[in-house]
Amino acid sequence: MTVERYIRIMAGFFVMLSLALGVEASPIFVSPWFLAFTAFVGFNLFQSGITGFCPPGILLRKLGVPEGGSCGTK
């Protein structure tokens, strides 16, 4: 897998988890403050798209994960 795919998987997982923990209708609801984490992940995706700066991407590259191509390529 590539850096881009790992980042997409991590972001999607964190959004789904924070929604599950922050929405009152969820069976694993903890606190509505978890919705702030959803906003944080969304903001980071937004700024990364504009600036190209992505701390998890830097960490994954240092761990030896290969760079990815554009969307949909293998």
pLDDT in tens, 1-52: 999 999 999 999 999 999 999 999 999 999 999 999 999 999 999 999 999 9
Q: Could you give the CA distance from residue 60 to residue 48 in angstroms, rounded to a whole number?
A: 15
54 within domain boundaries: yes
At 54, is the pLDDT very low, low, confident or very high (cuts 50, 70, 90)? very high
Q: Which residues contact 72 (CB under 8 A, 6 or more apart)?
A: none
58 within domain boundaries: yes
69 within domain boundaries: no
Helix (H, G, I), strand (E, B) or coil at 23: coil
- Domain total for the chain? 1
Q: Is pTM beyond 0.95 here?
A: no
Asked if pLDDT for residue 70 goes beyond 80, the answer is no
Burial of 67: CB neighbours in 10 Å, binned 0-12, 13-18, 19+:
exposed
Q: Which domain holds residue 29?
A: 3-62
- Among positive and negative, which fits the CA dihedral 38, 21, 6, 54? positive
70 within domain boundaries: no
41 within domain boundaries: yes
